[in-house]
Structure formats: C-alpha cells, structure tokens
Amino acid sequence: MIMVNRFLCVFTVVLWLPFAGVLAQEVSNAKDNFTSSGTGIVLPARSWDISAEVSNKINKLHFIEGQFVKKGDLLVEFDRAFKLFEVRLAKTALAQAKAELAKAKEKLARKEKLSESAVSVAELRDAVLDASIAEAEAEKAAIQLKMAELILSVQELHAPFDGQMTAPRYRENANVDVAEGHEIATLIQLDPIHVRIEGKYERLFDRLSAGQSEAKVLGRMTLVLELPTGTRYSHTGRLLTSAFQFNPDTGLGTVIGEFPNPAHILRPGLKVKVSGYERSN
C-alpha cells in the first residue's frame, strides 16, 4: 500500500476548504480571487486489501502489478477441493442429524400415545429430552453447513470497485495463512483521487473568527492543479477536510483535496502544485 509522508508537502496558504467544481479556465480568469499556491502529494482516494478469509492455497492470480481492473473482476482463485469436501461432509452430517431428529420425534409421539400405566414418567421425560437433543444437533449441523458453504463462496476474490492493482505479495500455488495478516495485494481507486496538502492555521482562524461556519468557508474555495510537466490539469478540485490537528513544531495541519481523474493522469506519489481560488459571493 502506498504510504505518503504527511509532512512532505508545505502549503503556505489556507487550504481548509472544499473547492467547488468550476472549470479551470473560469478560475484562471478570476485573478482577484487567487488565494495562494503550494505543493501537494497525490494519494489514493480509496484502497482495499485483497485478503483471504481463511487459510488456503492460491490456485491462480488473475492480475499483475499495475493492472487496471473493473468492479466485479475475478482477482484470486483459491484451491476449492478441500472446501468442496467440507460442504459435502456438512450436508451428510445434516442429513444424519435430521434422521436422528425424526427418529426421536417418532419415539416421543409413540410414548405419548401409550397409557400412563404403560409408560413411566421417567421414560416420557427421557423421550422429550432425546427429541430436544436431536433437534439441537440438527440445528448445529445446519449452521455448520452454512459455514462450509460460506467458506466455499469466498474461495474467489473479486474487485469491489474499479482501480489499479499493486504487486502481489504471493505467487500462485503459495499457501496463505490468515494468522500472518498479510494481504495478497491492494486495489487502489484512482477516480476520484486525493491530494494531501499542508497549510497554516491563520487563514482558517480568520474566517471562523469572522463568524463564518466551517462548511461555508470550505465551500467557497476551488483548487487548481499544475502537473510536474508544468501543464495545468484539466479538472478543478475541492477540499474534503479541514485539519483536525496541527504539528506543534511546524504549526502546519494536513487537509485533503479531491480531484476527478477519469483519464488516470494523476497517480499516487506524484508531487504537484496546487493553487487556491476563493469565490467572492
């Protein structure tokens, strides 16, 4: 999983504010509304560890490092042979438990029909208990079958959303032990994508002290991004968060901006220049 050092990027302005989605050419004309600019680091908007639910052997990996996948695509196939046998054994155990329950119920019904002189209280009580035990065993067997079927169903792992795959940690035919806690790989969502920015407290303080709500402050801003090539990115962004804490040594806090990324131009780890524009209305 890609990790980003939250103190790599210094945003010398205030960027506490989700920016509205206006076109880049529109904000570029509003020079009077320019707030400031600084650097940011691109990071995934969302990631998902592809992990085994139970220990098993990998039969086949259906992805390679860097591959783009769609939601629902098959990513990993585990060995299903032993899990299929476990389902069959559970079905057999359930059938046996149901037969024992039917036998116990039949025995109880037969004793209940006999006269009190022919069946003692103790015999009737034992028949009731036997039927209760048989019913509990049947319910237990049904639960075990459901568990076996559930385990069988997770022997194929599918992509939960569109994204790009990291390198797999395991090879095909490798045994995965869930106790070790290692993911097989990580799926990274690239659209939308986030940019981590650091900014000072002063501007947020000024706005909040003036009586503006944080939501209003955040909603007045738009982010414009410049790529390392010097090219302006074609989509504007917004800030999702204000900083919830600040570094006592630098006085900086981290905020997260979000940008559309349909062409996957922005990639995690990319260092970009970010400019902020504040709407006057």
Contacts of the segment 128-135: beta carbons below 8 A, 24+ positions apart: 130/104, 131/101, 131/104, 131/105, 131/107, 133/104, 134/97, 134/100, 134/101, 134/103, 134/104, 134/105, 135/101, 135/104
- % of the chain at pLDDT higher than 90: 54
Q: Please give the backbone phi and psi of residue 150, each rounded to the nearest 5 degrees, phi first.
A: -65, -45
Instruction: Please tell me which residue, 5 or 241, carries the higher pLDDT value.
Output: 241
Helix (H, G, I), strand (E, B), or coil: what is residue 225?
A: strand
Whether the full predicted model's pTM is greater than 0.85, yes or no, is no
Sign for the pseudo-dihedral over CA of 112, 113, 115, 117: negative
CA atoms of 251 and 236, how far apart (whole Å): 27
Summarize pLDDT for 264-279 with one digit per residue, the tens. Answer: 999 999 999 988 887 7
Across 222-226, average pLDDT: 90
Average pLDDT (157-185) is 92
> What mean pLDDT comes out for the span 199-226?
72
Is residue 34 within 8 A of residue 277, CB to CB? The reply is yes
Average pLDDT of the chain to the nearest whole number:
82
CB 19 within 8 A of CB 238: yes
Rounded-to-integer distance, Cα 49 and Cα 122, Å: 59
pLDDT of residue 92: 96
User: Which residue did the predictor score with more confidence, 48 or 9?
Assistant: 48
Task: Give the Cβ contact number of residue 145 at 10 Å.
Answer: 21
